[in-house]
């Protein structure tokens, strides 16, 4: 069973961007993985199905070239596509089996990166999900992933 983490686990404090406004049409997403708390907040669309996910690029996410680090985009991809896998399996535990990315354009400081994951196939043990990562009308990355359902303990 998963539970939201306590506020005391909200990461390194002053470098967090929780004081930034929540994007219009979104709400703050509950983060269940302690690692995500250090790079969030992440957002999810209000009531939309399929659900969109987003994050705003802040100073913590930049590489030495001053654009969003590819590792941050992959972290967000793993989180957002993972939530789609979880939803597609009625919240069954699953893990990332494979993830392939194509980085097309940079995301810059202040950009809102949005993805609406698409489940393309599901078998008894696997879920296939893809997503186009957008900043406004510009596609900055595409990701294809395979998720493995875990056997009950």
For 18-33, how does the pLDDT look when each residue is reduced to its tens digit (9 = 90+)?
A: 567 899 999 998 877 7
Q: What percent of the chain has pLDDT over 70?
A: 86
- Please list the alpha-helical segments (H only) found in the chain: 34-39, 70-88
Specify the 3-state DSSP secondary structure of 41: coil
Q: What is the dihedral of CA 37, 38, 41, 44, to 10 degrees?
A: -60
Q: Which of 94, 86, 72 is nearest to 117 (CA)?
A: 86
What's the CATH number where 52 sits?
3.10.129.10
Predicted structure pTM score: 0.85
Q: Is 89 a domain residue?
A: yes
Q: What is the dihedral of CA 63, 98, 16, 64, to 10 degrees?
A: 0
Residues 133 and 73: beta-carbon distance below 8 Å: yes
Q: What is the pLDDT of residues 46-69, one digit of tens each?
A: 986 778 999 999 999 999 999 999
* Phi, psi (deg, nearest 5) at residue 62: -85, 150
DSSP summary character for residue 64: T
Q: Is 1 a domain residue?
A: no
Q: Is 140 a domain residue?
A: yes
Locate 66 and state its tokens.
């001053």
Q: Is 9 a domain residue?
A: no
Q: What is the pLDDT of residues 91-143, one digit of tens each?
A: 888 999 999 999 999 999 999 999 999 999 999 999 999 999 999 999 999 99
Q: Is 16 a domain residue?
A: no
Which residue range(s) make up the domain with 102?
Answer: 23-149
Number of domains in the chain: 1
């Amino acid at each position: 069973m998963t539970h939201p983490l306590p506020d005391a686990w909200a990461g390194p404090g002053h470098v967090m961007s929780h004081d930034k406004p929540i994007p219009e049409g979104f709400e703050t997403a509950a983060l269940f993985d302690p690692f995500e708390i250090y790079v969030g907040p992440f957002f999810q669309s209000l009531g939309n199905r399929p659900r969109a996910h987003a994050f705003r690029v802040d100073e913590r996410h930049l590489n030495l070239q001053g654009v969003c680090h590819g590792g941050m985009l992959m972290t967000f991809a793993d989180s957002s596509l993972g939530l789609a896998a979880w939803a597609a399996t009625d919240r069954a535990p699953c893990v990332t089996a494979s993830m392939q990315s194509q980085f097309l354009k940079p995301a810059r400081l202040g950009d809102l990166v949005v993805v609406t994951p698409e489940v393309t196939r599901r078998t008894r043990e696997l879920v296939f999900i893809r997503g186009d990562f957008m900043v406004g009308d510009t596609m900055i990355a595409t990701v294809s992933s395979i998720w493995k359902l875990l056997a009950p303990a």
